[in-house]
Structure 1
Amino acid sequence: MLVLAGILLAAFNLRTAVTSLTPLLDVLGAEFGFGPAVAGVLGMVPTAAFAVAGVGTPRLAHRLGLERTAVLAMALAAAGLLWRSLAGGTGGLLGGSAGALAGLGIGNVILPPLVKRYFPERIGSLSSLYITVLQLGTILPALRAVPIADAAGWRVSMGVWTLLAVVAMLPWLGVLRIERRAGSALAQMHDRAVLPGDEAPELAAPPPRGKVSRTALGWGLALMFGMTSLVTYAMFTWLPKLLVEAGASPAYGGTMLALYSTLGLAGALSIPALAARLRNPLPLALLCAACHLAAFAGLLWAPMAAPVLWAVLLGLGPSTFPLALTLVNLRTRTPGGSAALSGFMQGVGYGLSCLGPLLFGLLHEYSHGWGLPFAFLTLCVGVMLCGAWLACRPGMLEDRW
């Protein structure tokens, strides 16, 4: 139960630093005097931090072990969230966000192998459970950010999530303490899962990525994953502001952001099973693209005519994210191939997606409207479909090396 609590509490924290900030961008911009460009940079930090963490975490976990790395991840998250809530200027906001998101990026990488280590017989059910909790941790900050800020100030609104990150450290500290007792059930479970001399076998270094970079499948998945993340984080950053400019209240903008986040759960729970049944799951990607384009049109031309509908369509569009993660295993024969493909996809994909919130904000500032930013996102959806066409074709990575 202690391990399960650690996994679920860590999962809840993996997006709090993102969605507790974006509903308050107007308030923070007025407080510190920054405009859309800086807001775009703040929206770019999550994907940049996740990309860097994805590269560095495997080596860190081998050096420290998965459990100590989990403690470090939550400690970084707590420190960054606290720093951000005490910021005296834009630099403090950026620095605190970077620190918190570095911790959460480490958490992104280590949670799946922790599930595999301690619950090898229940990987499917435990993965669904922690993804559900992750979604709740995405939704709740978006819903509560503005009401808490109105009642107690923006510093309290952003700082309250520090407490949850600290709480998420406690189960892992307990696990480390119990594992020191040689006869404990937890220690025996750990010993059965760990190979002699290897602190974290699940995070073994992948085969050279050069072979993946020479395959259409690798680049297809990277483009599909990257463009999906780009659009998602651009909307995380700018959806509340867009609705506020259209006449909604900041609280309503936060509610629509929460609804947008909630719909991600539908894709996470349904798309993997559907993809596994289809020889070529490209129709799923086409459906996601149609949802995105319909939402863009509605938000651009009639944002307050049916904002709930636009948020629902916008939330269904990123279902290509779980599709990409599923294809990593559907298009590989071996764990080594899966690791190589996943590493290349996430490294390149998150690197590409960093530009989304920043470019969206710069285009809005340049054009003084939303037409040019949404034209940019439409182009990104087109690139995503090109990647999906390459990634969804039947065939295995090992056959293409």
Structure 2
Amino acid sequence: MTVTPQQKAYAGKIGALLGIMLMALSIRSAVVSVPPLLGSIGPELGFDSFSTGLLAMLAPVVFAASGLLTPRLIKTWGLEKVLVIAVLLAIFGQVSRALVGDVAPFLALSALTLAGYGMGNVVLPPLVKKYFPSRIAVVTAGYVTMLAVGTALSPVLAVPVAGLTNWRISIALWALLSAVVLVPWVVQFTKDRRSHAAALAADPHRMPEAAIEPVKINPWRSPVAWGLAIFLAGNSAQTYVYFTWLPPYLTDAGMDAGAAGSMLAYFAILGLPMSLLVPLWIPRLRNPIIAVSLFTAFWIIGHIGLYLSPMEGTLIWMTFSGLGQGTFATALLMVNLRSRSTHGSGVLSGFAQGLGYGGAAVAPLLFGVVRDATGGWGASFAMLGVCIVVMLIGAVMVNGPRRIEDAKHQQAGAQLERVD
């Protein structure tokens, strides 16, 4: 039976879609599966307050570094090969850290794991643009939803699995999911190599795609890139503060530790409906700032409610804050809405996530430092107001229809005018 080119293309898209969704599902597991197990991991490996704080900062710091470095790797090796390397790093790091007996190698291997997933963070948006250019909103909705599912599912399963086995098996088990991610991408990468070889054999003078120099884009001079980075920083700072400080804050107010953990899980779960809604709604808006303003209002109501009344109406305040997470889905969607090409999407994704996560990394630390310095939570919650302002500044900068490539085109046009 002869397989038509259309059937081959369709099979390739199915494989790419499966690979994108599985990668998105696994990205957060390395981050959120460890904290619920620190009660068992800490005494055995020797965690103290400093190393626990370092572990909390590790994800945004490593994601930031990966964001800035990954676009160079994409330019050299291509999207698919970078993703395969990222998954291999994550698998090695996850399995290896489950075997160590001291806090230092555990942190180092956690950083290696996060580096792999940080590369995956950057690669996902340009992969969507490459394989599904006419279905960006739908596929983005799917993979952002998988991010939310992974975030909610991993901490829920971590403790029961550790109870049935031990903490080492519990944190290593997620490497199996990462291994499954490899299958569709290894197949896709092999098919791409065969198709390129066949094209080259048919036309020996054909230049391979990898040898074609993409248009150079300098994100450091792009208002769009800076705006998205600032927007992501303000959003992620609030999210990381919640993941780090919400349970301690609620228990300090008098809530049971188990109930405080449930509030955090509820906050994470609310990312699911927003992940589905945002990519389908925002592309229909001429001005995305309308949606961002609504989500910002949710954040503000949640912050104020939690500060003024942490023990009464807690579920209501957590609902508002959880719905505010629509700003994160917006940031991921804007990577493709504010770029014209796969190359531009990769550059914008790396720059925005690199600087965005880097800026967000200091928020949980400062939140705790201010709390200790003032003896209360008021000044710390005021910091969340600063994050809101930062996020809105970035939202205004990316609201217009400009693309990251536009700055390059404008510079080229200006140079041509000077030559004339």
Give TM-score scaled by structure 2 length: 0.78
Q: Say whether the 8 Å CA contact 1:22–1:240 is kept in structure 2.
A: no
Q: For residues 121 and 137 of structure 1, do their structure 2 counterparts lie closer, same or farther at Cα, with a shift above 3 Å needed?
A: same
TM-superposed CA distance for 1:181, in Å, is 5.7
TM-superposed CA distance for 1:228, in Å, is 0.6
TM-superposed CA distance for 1:336, in Å, is 7.1
TM-superposed CA distance for 1:68, in Å, is 2.8
Tell me the equivalent position of 1:298.
Answer: 305
Task: Give CA-to-partner distance per residue, 1:127-166, whole Å, 9 cap, x none.
Answer: 3222222221111012222333444443333222122222
Tell me the equivalent position of 2:147.
Answer: 134
Q: Say whether the 8 Å CA contact 1:74–1:104 is kept in structure 2.
A: yes
Measured in 2, the distance between the counterparts of 1:149 and 1:358 equals 29
Q: For residues 378 and 23 of structure 1, do their structure 2 counterparts lie closer, same or farther at Cα, with a shift above 3 Å needed?
A: farther
Q: Say whether the 8 Å CA contact 1:76–1:100 is kept in structure 2.
A: yes
Moved more, 161-170 or 237-246: 237-246
Q: For residues 283 and 127 of structure 1, do their structure 2 counterparts lie closer, same or farther at Cα, with a shift above 3 Å needed?
A: closer
Tell me the equivalent position of 1:207.
Answer: 217
Tell me the equivalent position of 2:72.
Answer: 59
Tell me the equivalent position of 1:197.
Answer: 208
Q: For residues 224 and 395 of structure 1, do their structure 2 counterparts lie closer, same or farther at Cα, with a shift above 3 Å needed?
A: same
Tell me the equivalent position of 1:242.
Answer: 249
Tell me the equivalent position of 2:289.
Answer: 282
Moved more, 350-359 or 265-274: 265-274
Tell me the equivalent position of 2:322.
Answer: 315
Q: Say whether the 8 Å CA contact 2:240–2:363 is kept in structure 1.
A: yes
Residue 229 in 1 paired to residue 236 in 2? yes
> Equivalences for 1:1-400 in 2 at 5 Å?
1-25=14-38, 28-29=41-42, 32-35=46-49, 37-120=50-133, 122-177=135-190, 196-199=207-210, 204=214, 206-212=216-222, 215=223, 217-248=224-255, 251-328=258-335, 342-367=349-374, 369-392=376-399, 398=406
Q: For residues 53 and 124 of structure 1, do their structure 2 counterparts lie closer, same or farther at Cα, with a shift above 3 Å needed?
A: same
Moved more, 313-322 or 335-344: 335-344
Q: Say whether the 8 Å CA contact 1:6–1:171 is kept in structure 2.
A: yes
Q: Say whether the 8 Å CA contact 1:234–1:357 is kept in structure 2.
A: yes
Measured in 2, the distance between the counterparts of 1:71 and 1:198 equals 19
How large is the RMSD of aligned CA atoms in angstroms?
A: 3.6
**1:351 partner letter:** G
**1:14 partner letter:** I
**1:287 partner letter:** L
TM-superposed CA distance for 1:349, in Å, is 1.8
**1:60 partner letter:** L
Q: Say whether the 8 Å CA contact 1:291–1:317 is kept in structure 2.
A: yes
Q: For residues 206 and 240 of structure 1, do their structure 2 counterparts lie closer, same or farther at Cα, with a shift above 3 Å needed?
A: farther
Q: Say whether the 8 Å CA contact 2:267–2:322 is kept in structure 1.
A: yes
Tell me the equivalent position of 2:5.
Answer: none
**1:324 partner letter:** A
Measured in 2, the distance between the counterparts of 1:282 and 1:233 equals 23
Measured in 2, the distance between the counterparts of 1:254 and 1:314 equals 15
Q: For residues 138 and 204 of structure 1, do their structure 2 counterparts lie closer, same or farther at Cα, with a shift above 3 Å needed?
A: farther
SS of structure 2 residue aligned to 1:88:
coil
Task: Give CA-to-partner distance per residue, 1:376-399, whole Å, 9 cap, x none.
Answer: 222222222233344435767747
Q: For residues 93 and 297 of structure 1, do their structure 2 counterparts lie closer, same or farther at Cα, with a shift above 3 Å needed?
A: farther
TM-superposed CA distance for 1:238, in Å, is 2.6
Q: Say whether the 8 Å CA contact 1:285–1:320 is kept in structure 2.
A: yes
Moved more, 252-261 or 375-384: 252-261
Unaligned runs of 5+ in 2: 1-13, 412-420
Task: Give CA-to-partner distance per residue, 1:87-125, whole Å, 9 cap, x none.
Answer: 433323321221111000111122233344444554443
Q: Percent identity of the aligned residues?
A: 40
**2:387 partner letter:** C
**2:159 partner letter:** V
Q: For residues 366 and 86 of structure 1, do their structure 2 counterparts lie closer, same or farther at Cα, with a shift above 3 Å needed?
A: farther
Unaligned runs of 5+ in 1: none
**1:322 partner letter:** A
Measured in 1, the distance between the counterparts of 2:305 and 2:136 equals 39
Q: For residues 271 and 9 of structure 1, do their structure 2 counterparts lie closer, same or farther at Cα, with a shift above 3 Å needed?
A: closer
SS of structure 2 residue aligned to 1:354:
helix
How many residues are treated as equivalent by the alignment? Answer: 389
**1:288 partner letter:** F
Q: Say whether the 8 Å CA contact 2:235–2:328 is kept in structure 1.
A: yes
Moved more, 318-327 or 94-103: 318-327
